[in-house]
Structure 1
Amino acid sequence: MIKAYLMYTGNDGDSHFKTGSIAEGALVKADHVLFKETPAHSSFDWHNDPIPQYVITLSGILEFTMKNGKTFVIHPGDILLATDHTGTGHKWRLLNDEPWKRIYAVFQEDAETHFIPDNS
């Protein structure tokens, strides 16, 4: 199983996250793929995720923070399933001296994401 974090908007309007994994061998209906690099020591203040997507980290270690103060750390190879399109949003910052290299895989609205929460 590949480690993953589901980031979503809760009933309270705040962004939250669950830890889990993506089912191995899962095929997901994707619309398009985007490659992006952000310089080391970067950060991005409060924002929402614009579209439902996987964010697959290739390099860089990031800390994501929710409005309630809870955090999680993404390492290379981890997958972020970003679905917090409304509400208070989240912020992130790079923790190490590497740029954040990543792939955005935008999935179709009706796509099965194959996210399996921990302890399910």
Structure 2
Amino acid sequence: MLRAYYLYTGRDGHSHVQRGRLVEREVTAAKSVMWAESPPYSSLDWHNAPTTQYVLTLAGELEFVTQTGESFTILPGDVLVATDVTGSGHKWRLVNDQPWRRAYVAFDGSTKLNFEADESTEPAVSSACQEEGLSKI
């Protein structure tokens, strides 16, 4: 199972998160791939995703927070499905002494993102996602 976090802009204009997984063995056409590294203890204040993208974490442990207070921790091997290109955005900070090594895989707006939401998502997060119709993307 490929653990994933779906970050999206809700009808309220704020970023929200849905926990789930990527559906394995489905091909997703990508527009571009970019590699990046941030030093240990780095952070980035409020921002939006620049484009719809997967962020594949190779090393580092970081905490993401939305303006509404939703938070989640990304570990090596986790995938962030970032689609919150508008709205209030999110911020992140590295929480250990490792650099954040990652790959950004960008998509165009019509690409089907192979994300499937967890059934056990916390009620507040799940309700927000149900309002958006996000049980499976």
Q: What TM-score, normalized to structure 2?
A: 0.86
* Structure having the larger proportion of residues in helix: 2
**Offset at 1:108?**
2.4
- Which position in structure 2 is the counterpart of 1:31? 31
The C-alpha deviation readout for 1:6-30, integer Å capped at 9, x for no partner, is 0000000000000000011121010
Residue type of the partner of 1:73? Answer: T
Unaligned runs of 5+ in 2: 120-134
Unaligned runs of 5+ in 1: none
Residue type of the partner of 2:102? Answer: R
RMSD of Structure 2 on Structure 1 (CA): 0.8
- Which position in structure 2 is the counterpart of 1:65? 65
- Which position in structure 1 is the counterpart of 2:75? 75
Distance 1:44 1:36 in 2: 14
Structure 1 counterpart SS, 2:31: strand
Alignment of 1:1-120 (within 5 A): 1-119=1-119
Please, which moves more after superposition, 21-30 or 52-61? Answer: 21-30
Aligned length: 120
Distance 2:86 2:59 in 1: 28
Q: What TM-score, normalized to structure 1?
A: 0.97
Structure 1: which 4+ aligned runs deviate by more than 2 Å? none
Distance 1:114 1:88 in 2: 25
Identity of aligned residues (%): 50
